[in-house]
Structure 1
Amino acid sequence: MWAELIQEVRVAQTGVQILFGFLLTVVFQPKYGRLADTDQAIYIVTVVMGACATGALVGPVSLHRLVSGHRVKPRAVRLASRMTLVGLALLLATMTSSLLLILRVATHDGYVPYLVTAVVAWYVLCWYALPLWARRRNRGGSGD
């Protein structure tokens, strides 16, 4: 299970690291100083969540490196799996607040919360609901 988990983490890491990198550049743009206080607060929360998501999704790699060869693989896999789930939840929150900020800046229309809600619902469906549904349907199956 360790190899599968690390491969899954690599996919999520790439996305969160690219997003986090872009977020770090926003504060250096001239328009940042003209953002409303609310938008600046959303940005700060987004950057902090992005940093936390990055930490949680890089954590399993560090864990593997530090415990490799110490015969703790079952515990390490469980801990890395938990870190990955936390990282995905933080990535969801980061994506949500990033989308909210971008749409608030791009348009001041009242439909922004509805768009963000629809996208978050899509993420929840793809990231949690469908996988949990598949797991429940396969309870008596092979273990893969």
Structure 2
Amino acid sequence: MSEHRRCTARNETPLERADRNFVELLQELRVVQTGVQILFAFLLSLAFTQRFPSLDALQRGTYVITLLLTVLAAALFTAPAALHRSLFRRGAKPHIVQVSSRLATVGMGVLMFAFTGSVLLVVDVTTHSRAAGAAAGAATLCVCLGLWGLLPRLVRRAAASD
């Protein structure tokens, strides 16, 4: 099939479709990246608070793991821009879109665990209850799994049956 042949329901070529898909992906990443940046700034500031030295070993471990997960999520969410920049004008747009989509999907999974760890830590520290922290972290994980995993499947199933 020719690269220039119009072949989709939107009457666009494969390259036009790749361009559109990449723009849509970047818009999604802009929304997510703001949240990641806020979470990262919050976590960085925690280490410099007066209360930080009083954290126990599990709380410090949760903090470090959550901080690193947040950095990894930020790296995964910014990688599509770096990938695009390094392959700009090399005819790789469909591959860039495919890889970038996978990076964003993995990033969402990592972010889910960063959210979970953040909530676990904050609730544990503020309530002085490890059980409350664990419950809040588990609830956060369930909400993310439901909204980011289950809901899209349900919508896809409903759309397929229409």
TM-score by length of 2: 0.81
Inter-partner Cα distance in structure 2 for 1:140 and 1:69 = 40
Matching of residue 113 in structure 1 with residue 134 in structure 2: yes
The number of aligned residues is 141
Deviations 1:1-37 (A, max 9, x none): 1110110011111110111111111111121111111
Compute the displacement of 1:111 (Å): 3.3
Matching of residue 55 in structure 1 with residue 75 in structure 2: yes
Deviations 1:95-136 (A, max 9, x none): 000000000001123333223222221111111111122123
- Partner amino acid, structure 2, of 1:92: M
- Check whether the contact 2:76–2:106 (CA below 8 A) recurs between aligned residues: yes
Change (3 A) 1:111 1:31: closer
- Check whether the contact 2:80–2:103 (CA below 8 A) recurs between aligned residues: yes
Matching of residue 38 in structure 1 with residue 58 in structure 2: yes
Matching of residue 93 in structure 1 with residue 119 in structure 2: no
Alignment RMSD (CA, Å): 1.5
Inter-partner Cα distance in structure 1 for 2:37 and 2:64 = 17
- Residue 11 of structure 1 is matched in structure 2 by 31
- Residue 6 of structure 2 is matched in structure 1 by none
User: What is the SS of the residue equivalent to 2:51?
Assistant: helix
Correspondent of 2:144 among 123, 134, 144: 123
**Larger relative contact order (Cα-Cα within 8 Å, sequence gap ≥ 6):** 1
- In structure 2, list runs of 5 or more residues that go unmatched: 1-20
- In structure 1, list runs of 5 or more residues that go unmatched: none
Q: Percent of pairs identical after alignment?
A: 33
- Partner amino acid, structure 1, of 2:66: T
- Partner amino acid, structure 2, of 1:136: R
